[in-house]
Structure 1
Amino acid sequence: MKIFDFLTSVRLTMVLLLGLALAAVFGTLNVPAPGRYEVYFQSPWFRLAVALLAVNMAACTLKTIGRNRRDRDTWFTRLVAGAATLKSDLDPGADRDALEQRLQGAGYGIQRRGDLLVAEQGRLGRWGSTVVHVSVLVIMAGALASGLGFVGTLNIYVDHESDTYFDWQEQADLPLGFTFRLDAFSAEYHPIDIEITAYEPATRRELRTWVTREGDSIEFPEAGVGARVRGFDPHLRILTLDLFAGGRALGEYRASAGAKTFWEGVDVGVIFMPTGFRDPILRETRSTVSILEEGRVVAAGEISINRPLVHEGVAIYQTAFDRDPYGFWYAGFQFSRDPGKPLVWTGSITLMLGLLLTFLLPYRVVGLVEVDGAPRLVALRGFHGEGGAISFERLRDAIL
């Protein structure tokens, strides 16, 4: 019994919380490796401290459950002892049955033992703190179960496949349990501001410069042509134009400046080159992927930002993308399995419900006892301070 009393003591709870808080501050300011917070917070001694807190909370929860189940005995005992500070003697001629009906009308549930009567309001709110404790324990269990999962990454080219991923904790390539294939990839940007310059082909003399954006059109009356900016690839720095003259489409024109300068397409006697652009703002990425088992495609889908593909409990997220110097796309993916995620979500939801029960359904208890031939209304729980005294007076007035 002494061990149980120690495990349920508030002093132990405060020591554990303060110790964990100080350890968390130290671990945040002194990271063992750049960005590797998990090396510290998943260490055996830190997990042991969290486990001790969980044992403390579990013991407190059991104690609270037992107290809640026995509390009606406590109210009748206190009612007989007359130890309450808030009490009011009612009219000796008051009808007990009428008083009981009015208490029920005020939202109180009635419990009788002989001539003693205990009335409770917000009984469900009594269990709010217990629900909060259990919810925190469920969240802790979910965090512990998460350690049974994994997180890893994979960089892969379009049309390539892999049955392994790189596990950062193990620092090694590990099997996925299936084959992952990247079928296609595309990156979409918000319209990019582009500077386009027209040159004379023979002398490379600059003729005119426009600052425009994708989807807009430019006019070059001196050459008798115009162009619509169909698109601009910020990775390869390739500009694509649709040329027209006199309202008639002439065809497509592509050009790039810099390390790989070229132009091709319709010859209108003028060279159009992209000479500057604003940094693009990414709008969306789309990766079309397939999951294979024993050479057969068992699942396929599209992965985009905040929309992973889930296969057999493994969530696959898009994390990176780029083009190599030869223009080939590759993309980065994160693979994660978190067995504790359902527990964490369940605990988070019930935690909110427990808090709502605690604050929205205050638990109040009053009793009726016969003293010197007159009924006496006694406040047993939930009537604290000046506000509680006012609520008690209102209840007394309501049942009279």
Structure 2
Amino acid sequence: MATMISNLPRDLIEEIFSRVPLTSMKAVRLTCKSWNNLSKTESFTKVHIGRAAKREEKTMMVDVMPHKLNLMSIVIDDVTPSAEFKGQFSLLHKNYRINQVLHYEGLLLCIMKDPTRIVVWNPYLGQTRWIQLRYFHRPHGIDHFRYALGYADKESCSSLKFLRFLDYFYKAPEEEFFWYEIYDFDSGLWTTLNVTPHWGIYSTYPCVSLKGNTYWPAKERSTQGFQDYIIGFDFTRERFGPLLALPTDRECSFVSLSCVKEEKLAALFKHRLHHDSYEYEFEIWITTKIDVEMVSWSKFLRMDMRPKIELPLTFYIDEEKKVFMGFDHGEYPKLLFLNVIGETGFLRKLENIQYRSPCSYVPSLVQVKKLARDRLRKQRSLENRRFAQNILRLARNGKS
């Protein structure tokens, strides 16, 4: 007589399911209620994620498609670099289109073609939260907002919050306009933040999230062009920290950030070889300590740009192998491997692999809960007045 899988001991069922690929967990959860409940227990998810990471021993990445995300496995290697398709995460009906995806420690913030709302998604747990935006602003179809996700409770990774801001600082202080607001997942309410920014954050440079905080390349608001700092936002205190200097005394014309195993921050920046030179080099430094208030750095590598290296907005590194990999976001994006050994430099390029907009991905146990109906609250009258005043300011400044 054949044994039904449902009759097997729980620990044996967990052992079987722990070998299921990440992209197939949705099918497991949809099979029956008991499997769905089992797949979301803390004991199972920790084992499953741990085994997936050990089995792969590679960097995972998601590539944005209009209605779904491709999961890729990347080998960062100076001998046989490769990219392997692992499966797909399906999110939405085809009526919804994804413009951009930002990764925040296992959670994906999906910026939609529909400018009135966004969705926060945990692909591993299969949880989503739609957020209705109070207003939208895309002049000429261009999204000028900066976005970030984080959590107020750093210990439990709970109390999620969503930050977005609009900041036109290019002609400060004469014609500047800024509006910073935060959304609380627990209350479902928006709050306008009382900030007077002394920083400038360009909308074209992506941020990274690390241990519940978010960091951007930044500049002094009073200076022109160069980004010589990073700046962080603390979701617990709901405020920005001071400008934290990059480890260089030269002006940086390009800065990009990345996470290193979700534990450290890596900063890639470009500057001139000499103050009076038109030849450039780039450096990558890794943090030894970092929080919103302070940072210390350790140099990872330096390389001159005479091999015509394209600097990437998205990059990954392997500390042990001393390898750097970046994506060239040109008209026809290609996966570009830049493998560097010591200070001498070694360049290898892997071409003919096309992606729209890749970002890193690490499975997460952070819950993305829907707002309970009994917790629905109304915005306070003071916040409603602040909102109305900012909408009026936006119109007066000709930004609407």
Same-fold call, TM cutoff 0.5: no
Task: Answer 1 or 2: which has greater helix percent.
Answer: 1
Larger Rg: 1
The bucket for the TM-score relative to the shorter chain is under 0.3
Q: Using CA pairs under 8 Å that are at least 6 residues apart, name the structure with larger relative contact order, 1 or 2.
A: 1
TM value normalised by structure 1:
0.19
